[in-house]
Each structure stands twice: as structure tokens, then as C-alpha cells.
């Protein structure tokens, strides 16, 4: 049912904002779980396994956000694909690195970011956006983005010896496809791709920041 206050229909806005509200709420629960586990166990060992299912669900379904009407399909696509790669092809596939401190680092940073981001979307849709949420959305990334990248790169670096030793996801010649693939070097290429791609994401957020906080008119290159 749509609730009408004057000419404004809140029903549609509540309907559209509810997935964001749910996403923000679940991320808050994940962050709370991380905090409680750290307090009770005084260690982060096993923490990844306790939130792995929620993490995989959330990061995979973020693909639904790579929409044509997004500010920049390429930026959103790179952001979502990199996290899906991290979740499924690094932390989920290589159990030996799941208790690395770098995993907890990027998990906490991702979760803090998603709480801010989905809260921003929710209140933005309801046309009642508190300034502190807008400020957090377009300022926290200045610190969280580098921290998250550090956590991701340190995790991949920690995984390299295990990948080298196990030869996982790799194909050696000769084989019936006559194709060779080495996952070890694939991870190294993935790490190197941060050099050209991360600045694109970071500067995109800085442009968004100027647009939202300072009213600058920004036209994205791939629009
Ligand atoms: C398979 C291998 C791939 C190889 C890739 C290799 C990649 C290597 C480099 C990648 C480095 C990534 C590192 C990264 O993972 C580290 C971290 O994330 S650490 C944590 C800090 N991160 C952040 O703060 C970034 C968070 N992410 C974002 O903000 C977005 O994903 C981003 C696309 C980056 C930017 O968002 P932007 O606002 O520009 O676009 P949006 O799509 O969010 O919004 C555009 C407009 O649409 C509205 N919108 C979007 N989604 C929703 C929604 N769910 N509900 C309602 N409205 C939505 C949004 O409000 C915007 O509207 P408006 O313009 O009016 O504000």
C-alpha cells in the first residue's frame, strides 16, 4: 500500500529503499558479530568462517547493483568483480589464509563501507538524508579505501605460497586442451591490476564527493 502525505508517495520509496535497509542492517549485524567474537574469544581465528556465508551472499548479490543507470557501470563493475574475486577465488578457496589479520582488516573495512553506503541509499530514497550519513558516505572512503586495498593485497600475497605449492586452479602442459594456465601468476596479475584500476575507483569517489558535497557538475567519461 502506498502512504500518501500530500503529493508524496512514500510507499514506492519505502519499497525501493527496503533492500538497502536490509543490507545496511545485516552489515551492522556482521560488524557487531565481529566485535562480539573478538571480545569473547580474544582472537580473530575462525572469525572468517563464522561470517563467510553472509559475506559470499552479500558480495555476490552486489552484482545486481551493476545497473545500466549506475553513475558509472565500469566503476561499479570493477568494484563488484574485484570483491567477488577476493571472496570466492582467494579467501573461500584458500583456507590456509582465512585467519590472516589482513582478512579481518578488509572484512571490517568492507562492512563499515556497506553500512554507510546502504544507509545513504536508504535515506536518500526516503528524501530524509541526515548530513552525517552523507558526510560519512563521501569522506570515510578516503581512509577506508586504502585500508581495504592493503588488506586485500596482503591477503593475496599471503596466499601465493599455498597456490604455488598446490598448483590449484592451474593447468600444466601437456594436456588434452593444449592450454596452460598458472593461477599463481594470475594472482600476481590481479595484484598488479590494482595499480591502474584502484586510482580510477578512488578518483571516481572524489568526483562523486565534489558533486554531492560541493554541488560540482561531474560528467563521467563512460556516460
Ligand atoms: C574478475 C577480476 C576483476 C579485475 C578487477 C581488478 C580490480 C583491481 C582494483 C580494485 C580495487 C578495489 C578495492 C576495494 O575492494 C577496496 C574497498 O572497497 S575498501 C572499502 C572502501 N570502499 C569504498 O568506499 C567504495 C564503496 N563502493 C562504492 O561506493 C560503489 O561501489 C562505487 C561504484 C565505487 C561508487 O558508487 P557511486 O555512488 O558512484 O555509484 P553507485 O552505483 O553507488 O550510485 C550511483 C547512483 O545510484 C544510486 N544507487 C546505487 N545503488 C543503489 C541502491 N542499491 N539503492 C538506491 N540507490 C542506489 C546512488 O544513490 C547514486 O545516486 P545519486 O547519483 O543520485 O547519488
87 lines ligand 1 (CB under 6 A): no
Q: Which member of 114, 118, 152, 183 is catalytic?
A: 152
13 lines ligand 1 (CB under 6 A): no
Known catalytic residue at 145: yes
Question: Which atom of ligand 1 is nearest to 190's Cα?
Answer: 6
The DSSP annotation for the chain comes to -PPEETTEEHHHHHHHHHHHHHHHHHHHHHHHHHHHHHHHHSS-TTHHHHHHHHHHHHHHHGGGG--TTSS-HHHHHHHHHHHHIIIIIIITT-GGGTT-HHHHHHHHHHHHHHHHHHHHHHHHHTT---HHHHHHHTTTHHHHHHHHHHHHHHHHHHHHHHHHHHTTT-BPSS-TT---B-HHHHHHHHHHTHHHHHHHHHHHHHHHHHHHHH------TT-
Task: Give the pLDDT confidence of 69-78 residue by residue, as tens digits.
Answer: 556 888 989 9
Known catalytic residue at 152: yes
208 lines ligand 1 (CB under 6 A): yes
Residue 41 CA, ligand 1 centroid: distance in Å: 33
Task: Give the pLDDT confidence of 168-208 residue by residue, as tens digits.
Answer: 999 998 899 999 999 999 999 999 999 999 999 999 999 99
Task: Give the pLDDT confidence of 115-156 residue by residue, as tens digits.
Answer: 999 899 889 988 999 999 999 999 999 999 999 999 999 999
- Which value does ipTM take for this structure? 0.92
What is the reported pTM?
0.86
55 lines ligand 1 (CB under 6 A): no
Nearest CA to ligand 1 atom 47: 70
Q: Which member of 145, 157, 169, 194 is catalytic?
A: 145
Amino acid at each position: 500500500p502506498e502512504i500518501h502525505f500530500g503529493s508524496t508517495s512514500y510507499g514506492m520509496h519505502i519499497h525501493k529503499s527496503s533492500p538497502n535497509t536490509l543490507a545496511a542492517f545485516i552489515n551492522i549485524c556482521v560488524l557487531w558479530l565481529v566485535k562480539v567474537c573478538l571480545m569473547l574469544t580474544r582472537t580473530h581465528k575462525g572469525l572468517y568462517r563464522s561470517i563467510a556465508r553472509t559475506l559470499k551472499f552479500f558480495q555476490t548479490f552486489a552484482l545486481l547493483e551493476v545497473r545500466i543507470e549506475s553513475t558509472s557501470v565500469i566503476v561499479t563493475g570493477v568494484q563488484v568483480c574485484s570483491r567477488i574475486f577476493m571472496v570466492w577465488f582467494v579467501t573461500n578457496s584458500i583456507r590456509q589464509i582465512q585467519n590472516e589479520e589482513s582478512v579481518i582488516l578488509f572484512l571490517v573495512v568492507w562492512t563499515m563501507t556497506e553500512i554507510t553506503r546502504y544507509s545513504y541509499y536508504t535515506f536518500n530514497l526516503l528524501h530524509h538524508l541526515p548530513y552525517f550519513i552523507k558526510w560519512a558516505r563521501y569522506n570515510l572512503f578516503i581512509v577506508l579505501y586504502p585500508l581495504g586495498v592493503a588488506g586485500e593485497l596482503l591477503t593475496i600475497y599471503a596466499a601465493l605460497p599455498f597456490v604455488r605449492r598446490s598448483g590449484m586452479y592451474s593447468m600444466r602442459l601437456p594436456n588434452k586442451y593444449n592450454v596452460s594456465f598458472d593461477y599463481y601468476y594470475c594472482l600476481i596479475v590481479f595484484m598488479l591490476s590494482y595499480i591502474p584500476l584502484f586510482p580510477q575507483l578512488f578518483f571516481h569517489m572524489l568526483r562523486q564527493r565534489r558533486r554531492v558535497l560541493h554541488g560540482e557538475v561531474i560528467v563521467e567519461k563512460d556516460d
